[in-house]
Structure 1
């Protein structure tokens, strides 16, 4: 049996660096999202609920809160109830009374959450405090169907659903935004050159000494203490345009999908490369031997294997000094090397010290 690996190679053509707004390059220190999670029950399912023991226990506890006590040892056999986890992201500056989108996921063996309703579920943060309450009808994009003979088909994921505006915020997260005499921007990609350019752009607009860099990530700016003035001050800062520094030379290889991404600053030192493919094909054609009617023997299957080994002609090409990305792509295309060969060639060049870039395999 012969296996083929399909590889998609992307080439990045060098282009002039465009200025980006500061809001696209950095985030304000302390202004962040917070994750919330909760545990609850989804009811009203059409026989697609789970049969996990913790679901029955949760159902009993809920009934006790309503003043209904179920006899001990009685299994409710809840086919229309499922135990779920509820997750949400609390954005910065969120205030009580605002609403959040939530994601509801089954944690038992429920077949589907389609048509279910989430009962009131508290959502807690990392400090174990309740920040929101969730409840509502689920929107499920997937569905499944099963026949009596055991055949089954599933489209997307029916055990996960969403509830738009399904949670109401009950507690506000305190933010350090209005505290202190400075505001700190943290770059999303640490780079000393970009940090220096941010400082120069801010000082060029506000005056010398207004901004200073701590390291390759953080840049602090002197800011007014009054909250209203600080908001206006930030609205000006976040729209300042900065030319980000070019990224370091990198080659990224996805070993699972065969994708290769080569950055525009990648270069190769003088090197000669040869690469060939060896293919082994094994075919099984078993023969059936039938004995004579009166011989008293048994029918037997005799294996017949055919093994063939083929080797493609080796390809050799040479890289000159200071080769650019476009020249690398052209050299590989001229010899007809498959993208799968490119992966092996790049790895070999890195080991030989000829690839002047960081090789990242994900």
Structure 2
């Protein structure tokens, strides 16, 4: 249990609006809050060409907004995507930014909003609290229920052929987040599973983190996990189920707020090299590594796992170790039933790459320091082998 008498800080976006179909009246939502009218929408080509943006842009135009669309965002975005987006925003005189899509689009949007308001070069922003000045008004609209990027102050970029670096700064928190679960209805079952498990990882790692865990992050993490665990299978099997979709999107958002304040740990540290080397989706790589890390962390996190067992399973009998083991078994069974791939071999990760992955995971010191159990290179290799 977190000690409520210890000092802590909790940061979150300016406002969160939850409304089914809210994206179709985006113009009204923004006109009541912002004076800016030259909006840069940051998204990916698939969403743009799908027509998803059309009613949004019509609604914006009705309220006097001029929208410029940047749709070159890709998964694991490299630095040149940021730079291209900034150039377009400057050329069009944009005075406001909206991220619309998955985590990559929202990550780019928050960083572009800062870069359009500063002369700092991108290379100077990597690390923690290195962004100077402010940013343009920023709105985030997720179309997947997983990353929580809409409510975090973190952007992850691909900086080399296989490496990633993070930018963490208070300026990256959005002014407004719109949660419109109607935008997630077309999400395929496999992506629903991977992003949903990603969000559960955020909640679990925030709740068991070694540093910055606090009463508010705990509150958000517990409710996030309750919503996510209770609705993941329904959302995967019945993608049009409105209550399940709304619960998943809200759960992912709450998990994002939890880990923005109590950072993630070893699951993410081991997932990043998998994404960097094999271009696997971030949610999927977290799902692949969650089971082994949960089992390893049992030695220190069992009391917290026992508390989470009561959240996802109802009041459970037995001592702490029994309830903690039941929680881990529940989460693994949930992942099995979701249909997400469960082994590294299932996604074509070669066995001889595991030592390389373990070495690369050691570079994620920002994350590993938060894990309940210390992870060295030998431990990382053992975890990859267990996941294989």
What's the TM-score bracket when you normalise by the shorter of the two chains? under 0.3
TM-score normalised according to structure 1 size: 0.21
TM-score normalised according to structure 2 size: 0.20
Larger Rg: 1
* Structure with bigger RCO (C-alpha 8 Å, 6+ apart): 1
Q: If each structure's strand is expressed as a fraction of its own residues, which one has the higher value?
A: 1
